[in-house]
Amino acid sequence: MDYKNKISELIKAHVDLEINVIEKLIEIPPKPEMGDYAFPCFQLSKIMRKSPNMIAETLKESIDKEGFERIESLGPYLNFFVDKGTFAKNTIEKVLKDGDSYGSSNIGEGKRVCVEYSSPNIAKPFHVGHLFTTAIGNSLYKMFKKEGYDVVGINHLGDWGTQFGKLISAYSRWVDEEALEKAPIDELLRIYVKFHEEAEKDPSLNDEARLNFKKLETGDEKATALWKRFRDLSLKEFERVYDILGVEFDSLAGEAFYNDKMDVVVNELKDKKLLVESNGAQVVMLDEYNMPPCIVLKGDGASIYATRDLAAAMYRKKTYDFYKSIYVVGTPQALHFKQVFKVLELAGHEWSKDCVHVGFGLVKFADRKLSTRNGSIILLDDLLKEAIEKTLEVINEKNPELENKEEVAKKIGVGAVIFTYLKNSREKDIVFDWKEILSFEGETGPYVQYSYARANSILSKAENICGEVDYKKLSSKEEFELVKSLANFNNQIKLATDKLEPSILTRYVIEVAKAFNKFYNAHSVLNLEDESLKATRISLVKSSLQVIKNALELLGIDVVQKM
Ligand code: ARG
């Protein structure tokens, strides 16, 4: 049963407010003494010209109390205490019936959301910063899907720009073919760095590179073939990382994809008299909005990053007719997106208000003991490898007999890293500390995964359950708190998608795991005389297991059956 809905209807019978307005006002109180749901009467007070306390008092008397243990008024609040047995029955039966799809809704039915995430640069290493956008975007993608939206996951690859002219020049001079095949990104990075060193001494290299990019832009066959090779080789490496992470995309349309779609944008801006010349470049002035001008064409007529983003936004609107278009990109690019969205607005595209930049912080390390191959850049590959190795060490110590140790270590290690990225609100920087991240205690990925495995082990020992389930028996504080947290899943998904903040779900799954452990530490499940109580508690364990699994799934983290 949807209690918020039920309560809204009960209140609706006595007041003059729309049902969905009432529903939005209903809160989940922070303390159990304040009930399971609360309705604040402030808004009614304005309409009814009575004090909120008085309204709460009157409503308490007149509302139908069926299905509730009691209804109380506390100051301006009306507090609802649900009937625990009914609540447990409704919740657990729904979780068990829905299974893997528990938490799904149709909030987003008929609406399409574009989520752009990851978007690494071709021929550049995939470093620890890229996991931030990848993990947040992947999780938002899954959450929107869960809410019934039609979601398009886009990897806006950085596969275009003058750097490709430089790479072509560097390739023709210094490439080591064997190294390129073996470790493509390392080799491409090496020759790219070399290009910059050499161009310091011989600036004519820059002219050649510019020419090479021009060739690429105009579809020269040789240049295009090389570009394609760099792209394919890099993608192959990226895909290995995506595989480990279990991340997928619906579209790999990167910057190059818009090469032939920019003229339209430039012409449109020209027609609308938005383009002006500034130091030889074509720009849209934004000083009225306290922003530097948005450069659309450089002095030599070449497009830039922003031009491609303008074209991409228009393309996405035209192709997907989105309800929302989300860009998961680091906070340092906030100004860039503000400029792009403003230019779209000035060009009369009112849908620019549906474009949202989702920023995030930096990744730092408490102990810089991570091995690095490329100077100061920490590769994600290395980070994940280290996480897996360290987890394997822990398993070898704690549970050396475990089957599929490698597989388990991979899921826990990678899960621990993803969990760390999604644990705090995304604008905050992450400080990496192995000890903390991989700990089985505290608010970590392994702690949640361990709770799952623990629940699983209880179930595997539960044989010959013959008692009849009776939800009234789940009356203890720990049981009821756990049931309540299981019932809260949909709410939390909604909050997380509204705020575009996966950490809300990370916090939630920690809460469920904690509530589960509290319950299990306080109450027996298997060692019970009362067969009916045993059967009932087992169904509570089963549903906890299911909710932890579903929530982790939305974060992009796999569960393990044993650990
Ligand atoms: N490739 C860029 C980078 O690594 C990020 C692209 C962000 N997305 C966009 N639509 N501009 O910095």
Beta-sheet strand order (sheet of 324-328) = 150-154, 112-116, 324-328, 355-358
pLDDT digits (tens, 9 = 90+) for 237-261: 999 999 999 999 999 999 999 999 9
Residue 1 has pLDDT above 70, yes or no: no
Q: Supply 319's token pair.
A: 């192709």
Q: How far apart are CA 382 and CA 328, in angstroms?
A: 23
Where is the domain boundary, 82, 116, 147?
82
Where is the domain boundary, 82, 98, 122?
82
pTM here is 0.93
Residue 370 has pLDDT above 70, yes or no: no
Structural domain span for residue 429: 380-554
Mean pLDDT of the chain: 94
Q: How far apart are CA 491 and CA 542, in angstroms?
A: 21
pLDDT digits (tens, 9 = 90+) for 447-497: 999 999 999 999 999 988 889 999 999 999 999 999 999 999 999 999 999
pLDDT digits (tens, 9 = 90+) for 178-231: 999 999 999 999 999 999 999 999 999 999 999 999 999 999 999 999 999 999
Q: Which residues of 519-542 are buried (b: 16+ CB within 10 A; e: fewer)?
A: bbeebebeebeeeebbbbbbbbbb
Tell whether ligand 1 has an atom less than 6 A from the beta carbon of residue 234. no
pLDDT digits (tens, 9 = 90+) for 446-461: 999 999 999 999 999 9
For the domain that residue 384 is a member of, what is the CATH number?
A: 1.10.730.10
Residue 445 has pLDDT above 60, yes or no: yes
Average pLDDT over residues 70-96: 95
pLDDT of residue 474: 96
pLDDT of residue 365: 79
Tell whether ligand 1 has an atom less than 6 A from the beta carbon of residue 158. yes
In a domain, 476, yes or no: yes
User: Strand, coil or helix: what is 158?
Assistant: strand
In a domain, 385, yes or no: yes
Tell whether ligand 1 has an atom less than 6 A from the beta carbon of residue 325. no
pLDDT digits (tens, 9 = 90+) for 412-442: 999 999 999 999 999 999 988 888 999 989 9
Largest CA distance in the chain: 87
Nearest Cα to Cα of residue 492 among 550, 408, 534, 440? 550
For the domain that residue 31 is a member of, what is the CATH number?
A: 3.30.1360.70
pLDDT of residue 374: 47
Q: Supply 496's token pair.
A: 């997380």
- Ligand 1 centroid–CA 273 distance in Å is 28
- Ligand 1 centroid–CA 326 distance in Å is 13
In a domain, 15, yes or no: yes
If one counts the domains in the chain, the total is 2
Q: Supply 180's token pair.
A: 């390129």
User: Strand, coil or helix: what is 458?
Assistant: helix
pLDDT of residue 377: 77
Q: How far apart are CA 237 and CA 504, in angstroms?
A: 32
Q: Kindly state the DSSP code that residue 353 receives in the 8-state scheme.
A: G
Average pLDDT over residues 531-556: 98
Where is the domain boundary, 82, 111, 137?
82
In a domain, 109, yes or no: no
pLDDT of residue 371: 44
In a domain, 252, yes or no: no
In a domain, 347, yes or no: no
The residue to mutate among 333, 355, 358, having the most atoms of ligand 1 within 8 angstroms of its beta carbon, is: 333
Tell whether ligand 1 has an atom less than 6 A from the beta carbon of residue 454. no
- Ligand 1 centroid–CA 252 distance in Å is 13
In a domain, 549, yes or no: yes
pLDDT digits (tens, 9 = 90+) for 260-297: 999 999 999 999 999 999 999 999 999 999 999 999 99
Tell whether ligand 1 has an atom less than 6 A from the beta carbon of residue 488. no
In a domain, 484, yes or no: yes
- Ligand 1 centroid–CA 158 distance in Å is 6
